[in-house]
Amino acid sequence: MQYRTLGRTGIQVSTLVLGAMNFGGLGRTTQDDATAIVDAALGAGVNLIDTADFYSHGESEEMVGKAIAGRRDDVVLATKAGLPMDDDRNHRGSSRRWLVTELEASLRRLGVDHVDLYQVHRWDPSADDEETLSALTDLQRAGKILHFGSSTFPAYRIVEGQWTARERGLGRYVTEQPGYSVLQRAIETDVLPVTERYGMGVLVWSPLASGWLSGAVRKGREVTTNRSAVVPHYFDTSDPVNLAKQDAVEKLADVADGAGLTMIQLALGFVTAHPGVTSAIIGPRTLDHLTSQLAAADTVLPADVLDAIDGIVAPGVDLAPGEKNFTPPALADATLRRR
């Protein structure tokens, strides 16, 4: 296992992060399964676990808390808040009211007195940056969070957050968690240059592109990834976007075969090769999934393989822009772009 410094925090983290999104109802992963996965991951040298209140409505946090009981100090523990927890309009977002309330709930579910990294799950257009950062700074000073970060923020919002922190004398976001894979490379254009400029740690999600790069999705075969039941439109080959992904995957499979690598090793080796990326978040649903992903822990792709990947999916290009889980408000609401 390789280790890198998480931004400027001084914390050393593994280049593979155990993501717990599949723990609980979403991935149909039981507590025994989750504990076994955590045991195996920690045994292999993974030292950062990432979860969120939103994952299975808190069940993931509860499972992680039980799995790490008695070894809290061995784990760099990260969670997130901001996505809707129920229909109440104030049980979401990044207002002081909600972040303070929901952190207490997350700490109870995790069974800990603090988290190492608390992340705003999505940018909240209704909350002022100073409102959010002042709340996070107060939680940090109270010792309930050690550091805080953002997730899936557009580049200009990352810059705005850094500016506000400096101008108002507040703590700053020290990490960003964007989506990134061979098939989704748009963050190379703006997000990664910005995070590198500010010395932020970067923990990328979906490096296997919802299973497209795991080997489970190949032309002429039945799709075997669990994500096809959750987001079936990501795999509908009547959509030209998915056809483009399918064509790219077949070409990438040839590159992997030629290099003596699995698709998973190619995919994870690609994202961790970027100098702006600290770690890749893996989200195994079973021990077998974890084993296949841990096999990529020390994968270093040579220049000719990286060049071949660039020839299949150009740098800075998203083959499926709609899968980035962030739409600027003005694109979603016509009233925001008309006088």
User: What tokens were used for 276?
Assistant: 């702006």
Distance CA 75, CA 199 (A): 23
Distance CA 280, CA 166 (A): 29
Sign of CA dihedral 205, 210, 215, 216: positive
Distance CA 151, CA 166 (A): 20
Q: Which of 55, 118, 173, 234 is catalytic?
A: 55
CA-closest candidate to residue 49, choices 145, 122, 116, 143: 116
Query: Measuring CA to CA, how many Å separate 233 from each of 2, 94, 212, 290?
Result: 35, 29, 13, 25
Q: What is the CA radius of gyration of the chain?
A: 19
Residues in the chain: 339
Mark whether 55 is an active-site residue. yes
- Helix H segments across the chain? 31-43, 59-68, 96-110, 129-141, 155-168, 191-197, 227-230, 240-259, 263-273, 287-294, 303-312, 329-332
Q: Which amino acid is at 26?
A: L
Q: How far apart, in Å, do the first and last CA atoms of the chain sit?
A: 54
Centre a 10 Å sphere on the Cβ of residue 113 and count the other Cβ atoms it contains. Answer: 9
Distance CA 227, CA 243 (A): 17
Q: Active-site residue numbers?
A: 55
